[in-house]
Chain A
Amino acid sequence: MAQKPRVAIFDFTGCEGCELNQLNFEDQLLDILAHVDIVEWREAMDDRPGEYDIAFVEGSLSTPDCIKRIHEIRRRAKVLVAVGACAVQGGINGMKNIRPIEQVREEVYGEDKYLFPTLPALPLRAVVKVDHEVRGCPMTQIEFLKVFTALVMGKEPIEPTSSVCTECKLKENECVFTKGMICLGPVTRAGCDAHCPTFGQYCTGCRGLVPEPNLEGMKEILVEHGLSVQEAWKRLQLYNAVELEGVRS
């Protein structure tokens, strides 16, 4: 690209874990900034209307106001990238879909529940067209850098579709199942370089499901390792509630 791409960053109701403006890969941040013009920081959203080449959007959508804003962002962005599990899958926020919405409102807003109309926590793609995704909770930094460089080069980023297990095997990690843990790696999308198993932890599935997952097979594995069917299903739902249950309200 001859001119530096104009980049905007927006944040919805994430957990603040992703926040791109707190990137803790600061060394690379300077390199990144050399390639782009950051046009608006999240607070600046409404001040300077204009177009941007790339909008990075974090967080899921849970109020009518969010929906209005995301349409506005989509209208002004040439490329829209969902960043983090909340934006991509509806994230942990999506868990509220599987409980009655009234109850959630009560818990979150207490007395004030009637003042805050909330929707089920939607991933961005339930409302607008999303061009690319950076998955993970918090978002996977290596993937963010890959997507970022691809977009700066004006090419389509490649999304991993294989399982976290493949990355474990390439690193020869001891499988956490051998230690009696229960892991969602077999049906979770690679791209984090098997981050959690590498540190001896199980994968909670934060990067979402692989395309066309065999969920029955996965449930069977979990049950085989001691979970009840309900517990197994709950495990799978943690980060995949919207995909698994659809949107309930």
Chain B
Amino acid sequence: MVQFFLESDRVAEFVTHLMKRKPVYAPHRKGRKSYSFERTRDAAGVVLDYPRVMQSVKKFFLPPREQLLSFDLGDNTCRAGEVEPLDAIFLGVHSYDLAAVGRLDHNFSEGRAERNYLTRRQGALWVGVSYEPDEYHFAGSVGIDPYDTEGFDIFLTRLLDGYVLEVLTPAGESLLEGFDLPAHEAGKPAKKHFQQHIYVPQDRLNEVMSASYNNPVWEETALGCVGCGTCNLVCPTCYCFNVEENVDITVTKGSRDRHWDGCMLREFSEVAGGEVFRETLAARQRHRVMRKFKYISEKTGQPWCVGCGRCTAYCTAGISIVNIVNRCISDYEKSTVSAIR
């Protein structure tokens, strides 16, 4: 592995270099306290030191709204929606967010491969950056370290006065061509500490969650949860969508569109005739959390939560997925201890 040193004041130069190769998407400031991944037009706008973006890079491969097909009501014909490959560099991605992309890749390639997602996804190149865990991150508890380089072509590890730049793939190497950097010899930077933890190792979570279906935590959480769906809609591994027909005001043409949806919303499981299969907020909260820590992990061996902390950070009711899981763990441990006694 080749390591270089990128001084802080050469970052903009580095971004400009990348922009000459391919379009660059990177975190930019948005609003008063937020950051968002945007197409970079000016290298100076890129922010590499950020706690989190509300929407992960998922939004580029599975856009919040997307046309699946367009139709003509006159002759009753349709055409598949346009899907453009995204040949681009994603710069400044945190390790948990790339891990989340891996989860999405699984969903959209398993069984029937989905052209829309995979076409956009295929050309992506990844330049990661380490981060400082804040009061919401808990990626360490699901086995994703802030320095985790898996899947990246280039990885930037932040030091005081700049970044250690690791080239990890041939694609990463060719991105760097023509950009001279001094080599870096020093070892690993200090381990990062998370403020939030899930208290059992991830490989035991299945067992805990399997025993937690009837835990009172679901009902208790439902008292404060207002069912707004935010926790689904900010989650980088959530992929559920709804489909709707939109007809042009001329009533001659229109499109069948999809948009992000979430299992916390009441209508999500409603069928014609009005039956809602997860009627209560408690049942929906349980479904969401089980999806992350049991239902999918049983099949894939991986937790479907990457510990980004978004669902907690953006929940207006302050509901914490870490607290819910830890509660399940402590109740489970109490029950197994009392069973032994």
Q: Enumerate chain A residues within 8 angstroms of B233, measured Cβ to Cβ.
A: 165-166, 169-170
Selected contact of A212 from candidates B30, B249, B266, CB within 8 Å:
B266
Task: Report the stretch among A92-100, A117-125, A178-186 that lies at the interface.
Answer: A178-186
CB pair B267–A35 under 8 Å, yes or no, is no
Q: Enumerate chain B residues within 8 angstroms of A34, measured Cβ to Cβ.
A: 250
Task: Report the stretch among A43-51, A83-91, A156-164 that lies at the interface.
Answer: A156-164
Please list the 4 inter-chain residue pairs (A to B) with the smallest Cβ-Cβ separation, ordered nearest first: A174-B31, A169-B233, A186-B228, A170-B64
Interface residues on B, range: 35 or more
CB pair B262–A166 under 8 Å, yes or no, is yes
In the complex the two chains form, what is the Cα distance from A221 to B223 in whole Å?
Answer: 11
- The answer to the question of A248 belonging to the interface, with a C-beta cut-off of 8 Å to chain B, is no
Within B94-113, the residues touching A (CB, 8 Å) are none
Selected contact of A175 from candidates B250, B267, B314, CB within 8 Å:
B314
CB pair A163–B30 under 8 Å, yes or no, is no
Of chain B, the residue at the smallest CB distance from A32 is B249
CB pair A161–B32 under 8 Å, yes or no, is no
- The answer to the question of B149 belonging to the interface, with a C-beta cut-off of 8 Å to chain A, is no
- The answer to the question of A110 belonging to the interface, with a C-beta cut-off of 8 Å to chain B, is no
Nearest-neighbour CB distance to chain A for B231, whole angstroms, equals 10
Within A132-177, the residues touching B (CB, 8 Å) are 145-146, 148-150, 152-153, 158, 161-163, 165-166, 169-175, 177
Q: What is B's interface to A at a CB cutoff of 8 Å?
A: 30-34, 36, 54-55, 59, 64-65, 222-230, 233-234, 244, 246-251, 259-260, 262, 265-267, 281, 314, 316-318
In the complex the two chains form, what is the Cα distance from A221 to B34 in whole Å?
Answer: 21
Q: Enumerate chain B residues within 8 angstroms of A152, measured Cβ to Cβ.
A: 251
CB pair B266–A161 under 8 Å, yes or no, is yes
CB pair A149–B244 under 8 Å, yes or no, is no
Q: What is A's interface to B at a CB cutoff of 8 Å?
A: 28, 31-32, 34-35, 145-146, 148-150, 152-153, 158, 161-163, 165-166, 169-175, 177-179, 183, 185-187, 200, 210-214, 216-218, 220-221, 224
Instruction: Name A's interface SS.
Output: helix
Q: Given A165-B316, A178-B32, A178-B34, is A172 in contact with B265 using a C-beta cutoff of 8 Å?
A: no
Of chain B, the residue at the smallest CB distance from A152 is B251
Q: Given A166-B233, A169-B234, A177-B316, is A221 in contact with B226 using a C-beta cutoff of 8 Å?
A: yes
Nearest-neighbour CB distance to chain A for B250, whole angstroms, equals 5
CB pair A174–B33 under 8 Å, yes or no, is yes
In the complex the two chains form, what is the Cα distance from A200 to B248 in whole Å?
Answer: 29
Q: Enumerate chain A residues within 8 angstroms of B247, measured Cβ to Cβ.
A: 149-150, 153
CB pair B225–A217 under 8 Å, yes or no, is yes
For B36, B228, B233, B318, the residue with the greatest tally of chain A CB atoms inside 10 Å of its CB is B228
Q: Given A149-B251, A217-B224, is A170 in contact with B259 using a C-beta cutoff of 8 Å?
A: yes
For B248, B251, B281, the residue with the greatest tally of chain A CB atoms inside 10 Å of its CB is B251
In the complex the two chains form, what is the Cα distance from A214 to B226 in whole Å?
Answer: 5
Q: Enumerate chain A residues within 8 angstroms of B281, measured Cβ to Cβ.
A: 214
CB pair B32–A172 under 8 Å, yes or no, is no
Nearest-neighbour CB distance to chain B for A53, whole angstroms, equals 15
In the complex the two chains form, what is the Cα distance from A44 to B223 in whole Å?
Answer: 51
Selected contact of B223 from candidates A166, A171, A217, CB within 8 Å:
A217
Q: Enumerate chain B residues within 8 angstroms of A178, measured Cβ to Cβ.
A: 31-34
Nearest-neighbour CB distance to chain A for B61, whole angstroms, equals 15
Q: Given A174-B30, A174-B33, is A220 in contact with B64 using a C-beta cutoff of 8 Å?
A: no
Instruction: Name B's interface SS.
Output: loop
CB pair B32–A218 under 8 Å, yes or no, is no
Q: Enumerate chain B residues within 8 angstroms of A210, measured Cβ to Cβ.
A: 227, 266
Of chain B, the residue at the smallest CB distance from A29 is B249
Q: Given A178-B33, A178-B34, A186-B228, is A169 in contact with B249 using a C-beta cutoff of 8 Å?
A: no
Nearest-neighbour CB distance to chain A for B281, whole angstroms, equals 7
Q: Enumerate chain A residues within 8 angstroms of B317, measured Cβ to Cβ.
A: 186, 217, 220-221
Q: Enumerate chain A residues within 8 angstroms of B234, measured Cβ to Cβ.
A: 169
In the complex the two chains form, what is the Cα distance from A149 to B259 in whole Å?
Answer: 20
For A166, A185, A214, A220, the residue with the greatest tally of chain B CB atoms inside 10 Å of its CB is A166
Of chain B, the residue at the smallest CB distance from A200 is B31
Of chain A, the residue at the smallest CB distance from B227 is A214
In the complex the two chains form, what is the Cα distance from A183 to B318 in whole Å?
Answer: 15
Cross-chain pairs A/B with CB under 8 angstroms, 14 sampled: A31-B249, A34-B250, A145-B249, A152-B251, A161-B266, A162-B267, A166-B233, A166-B265, A172-B30, A178-B32, A186-B230, A186-B316, A213-B226, A218-B226
Of chain A, the residue at the smallest CB distance from B55 is A172
CB pair A166–B228 under 8 Å, yes or no, is yes
In the complex the two chains form, what is the Cα distance from A75 to B64 in whole Å?
Answer: 43
Q: Given A165-B228, A171-B64, is A31 in contact with B250 using a C-beta cutoff of 8 Å?
A: yes
Q: Enumerate chain B residues within 8 angstroms of A173, measured Cβ to Cβ.
A: 31
Of chain B, the residue at the smallest CB distance from A35 is B251
CB pair A172–B251 under 8 Å, yes or no, is no
In the complex the two chains form, what is the Cα distance from A221 to B228 in whole Å?
Answer: 12
Q: Given A149-B251, A166-B229, A220-B317, is A174 in contact with B223 using a C-beta cutoff of 8 Å?
A: no
In the complex the two chains form, what is the Cα distance from A233 to B299 in whole Å?
Answer: 46
- 13 further A-B contacts with Cβ under 8 Å, apart from A162-B266, A169-B54, A217-B223, are A31-B249, A163-B227, A165-B316, A166-B228, A169-B230, A170-B64, A172-B54, A172-B64, A177-B316, A178-B32, A178-B33, A217-B225, A221-B316
In the complex the two chains form, what is the Cα distance from A121 to B222 in whole Å?
Answer: 34
